Structure 1
Amino acid sequence: MASWKVLLAVQATSFVLLVYGAFSIGIATSKILAVRHHDRTGTAVIDAAAPDSSEAVEKTFRRIGAVVIGLSAIFVATSVSNFFLPGAAQRYDKWVAVAIATVAFIEIIGSVMGAHSARKNNEPVMEALKLVNLAGCCALLVMTQTALLSFAYDGDASRYNAIAGMVFGCVAIILGLRVYTRRAPQRQG
């Protein structure tokens, strides 16, 4: 998904779409870090028999959180820039906008349910992964708003979209901080 956004951004010379694509690539990078942790340790949970397991999980949390925080800060900065220097309004077909909205809401529901399930099952790395998905959904919500307003609003909605970018970008930063500061649960022995 990130690749097509970047290619489309280059083709359409859209800086905003390029930022969405870069954000998606960063989210994918965070997911790769979680998968690498899983492959290295063979588990998504903390192994009580391995004394460095908690340390490895917390190191993974910090790496994933830092990527999400950095990308989200860039996303917010881009939105602030778009608020003061709005570009050309983007236009989407009604059905494309509805499809984007549908995908966004399905991803949000899946991320929230997955994070809750991973926390309940004491799978901290999987929980972090689901929180990263939720942070990615924040950018997708802004894209959804942009698409829906492009056909439903007659005026220039670029400032409204920039405000949404700032708000949802800050939510993504908070989610990144949540992952970054997450402590590995201690097993009772």
Structure 2
Amino acid sequence: MSSTTSDDCGPAPAEAIYPDLTTAFTAIQEHAKANGYAFYRHDRKPNRAVFRCDRAGKYDSKGKNPNTDPSKQRSSSGSKKCGCKMGVELRLDHISGNWSLKVLEATHNHPRSADPKVHPAHRIAALAPHIHTVICALGRAGLSTRQIVSTLQKEFPEALLTPKDVSNIVQKAKLKDREDKKTST
């Protein structure tokens, strides 16, 4: 459990027991939000789920041409990934039906975030259900991400979503629609 520590970044959530996986994830994500980071689901099996700091991993330059002249490269297209190893595991106890939280790595290698809005997980979680429904409906109607973002800025200026957030929400809704269609046939 060793890693470069950052005094600024928040601690890992305390080991605990939860009645279900949804409650557990909500609790650890709220803890992360209060401490300047966010979790994402790294791995999920029927009896176990692993969540890591959203700054885990390394930037993948796949699809980028290394021979492109720097003057023609997009600016501000970097990644926030820095190889953070912080993570937790939730395991199902078959006897009680509860999920127990175990900290796999307690420390971060980066400072805490100044604002929770820098994490997509927190922006999307703060989204009102009716706005989420509007985004999905506009996506199903065939509007482009740019058109949806423009509509949101006019109708719901309090929604602090990036175009990528909107694209992800629309893609997830379309995937769910396809899965629902498969199961209904």
In the superposition, the TM-score normalised over structure 2's length comes to: 0.24
Higher helix proportion: 1
The structure having more radius of gyration, on CA atoms, is 2
Higher strand proportion: 2
Q: Which has the higher contact order (CA 8 A, sep 6+)?
A: 1
In the superposition, the TM-score normalised over structure 1's length comes to: 0.24
